Homo-oligomer: A and B are copies of this chain.
């Protein structure tokens, strides 16, 4: 029995060592050294090449190296009868919360304006807005979004939440479903997107919805590039409707050098680093899930393929 590792961004070594230690009966193979495909019972992957997974006829499960599985579901030849398992937290929630908290404070305290002023050698002060008068809107209230809401609480912001189905987190003014999106956005000054990317959420932040945000609102996207209409964001910034954006994810990654986001004064680009599965944490979850599959039990993080997460 073997597991095939595929990722263009993750280092296989800590995974190889953990498997050698905890599941020595399973051979650890790193793509492209696939070997005999009939050996491969598990695929541990991040954005696998389309068509790769269907070439593995004996798969018992596909294990995502991330919390999102849109990069796997995008494969039109994905074997849809094989269980697909995503990471649940595994250190990701803490990192996402750090990034989101950073972004919320960046815009709340106008650091995007001060960074521009520094380039222009300009000393100009803006009176801080009390956190209680500042609204932070969180899209997606799953494991990640609700961890962020908890970390945000001690700072005293007005927190709004948006989710597909109704939710009730303490201290959060909640909105849900199609009807809830407009009132949620109309009251959100700093928007943080944690949604999974599905058929329903693709381009949820298009020109119409961005226009619902109040003037000067800022956007933090640490979910997926596919949630945001990039041209609509540029138009909303250039018209002065939006104040700034902190973006970790993009339609094309790495962000192409000629992309206008790189040079836009109101956009802060980070290279998809908001959350990064920490091997030491994620590996124990993956190994536990393999053990559960071997015992015929339900793994943690089993994806409902029709729902998309």
Task: Check if A118 sits within 8 Å of B268, measured CB to CB.
Answer: yes
A155 to B95, CA, bound (A): 10
Cβ–Cβ < 8 Å partners of A269 in chain B: 114, 118
- Asked whether any CB of chain B lies closer than 8 Å to the CB of A102, the reply is yes
Q: Which of these, B125, B263, B270, B272, contacts A271 with CB under 8 Å?
A: B125
Query: Assuming the A-B contacts A102-B109, A128-B273, are A254 and B123 also in contact, with contact meaning beta carbons closer than 8 angstroms in the complex?
Result: yes
Task: Check if B111 sits within 8 Å of A270, measured CB to CB.
Answer: yes
> Interface extent on A, as a size class?
35 or more
A76-128 residues with Cβ-Cβ distance < 8 A to B are: 91, 94-95, 97-99, 101-102, 105-106, 108-111, 114-115, 117-118, 121, 123-128
A255 to B120, CA, bound (A): 13
Cβ–Cβ < 8 Å partners of A177 in chain B: none
Task: Check if A125 sits within 8 Å of B94, measured CB to CB.
Answer: no
A103 to B272, CA, bound (A): 20
Choose among A97, A99, A109, A155 the residue with the greatest number of B CB atoms under 10 Å from its CB: A109
- Asked whether any CB of chain B lies closer than 8 Å to the CB of A50, the reply is no
A255-283 residues with Cβ-Cβ distance < 8 A to B are: 255, 257, 262-263, 268-273, 275-276, 278
A121 to B94, CA, bound (A): 28
Query: Assuming the A-B contacts A268-B115, A271-B125, are A101 and B105 also in contact, with contact meaning beta carbons closer than 8 angstroms in the complex?
Result: yes
Q: Which of these, B99, B111, B270, B278, contacts A130 with CB under 8 Å?
A: B278
Q: Which of these, B91, B114, B151, B271, contacts A155 with CB under 8 Å?
A: B151
- Asked whether any CB of chain B lies closer than 8 Å to the CB of A131, the reply is yes
Cβ–Cβ < 8 Å partners of A156 in chain B: 94
- Asked whether any CB of chain B lies closer than 8 Å to the CB of A32, the reply is no
Q: Which of these, B108, B126, B271, contacts A273 with CB under 8 Å?
A: B126
A109 to B99, CA, bound (A): 8
Task: Check if B121 sits within 8 Å of A111, measured CB to CB.
Answer: no
Would you give the shortest CB distance from A300 to chain B, in whole angstroms?
21
Task: Check if A121 sits within 8 Å of B257, measured CB to CB.
Answer: yes
- Asked whether any CB of chain B lies closer than 8 Å to the CB of A154, the reply is yes
Task: Check if A106 sits within 8 Å of B102, measured CB to CB.
Answer: yes
Q: Closest chain B residue to A157 by CB distance? A: B98
Q: Closest chain B residue to A91 by CB distance? A: B130
Cβ–Cβ < 8 Å partners of A304 in chain B: none
Would you give the shortest CB distance from A97 to chain B, in whole angstroms?
8
Q: Which of these, B9, B91, B125, contacts A9 with CB under 8 Å?
A: B125
15 interchain pairs (CB within 8 A)?
A101-B155, A102-B102, A102-B109, A105-B105, A115-B115, A115-B268, A118-B262, A121-B257, A121-B263, A123-B254, A123-B255, A124-B271, A125-B276, A130-B278, A151-B154
The 6 closest A-B pairs by CB, nearest first: A123-B254, A102-B105, A123-B271, A114-B270, A118-B269, A121-B262
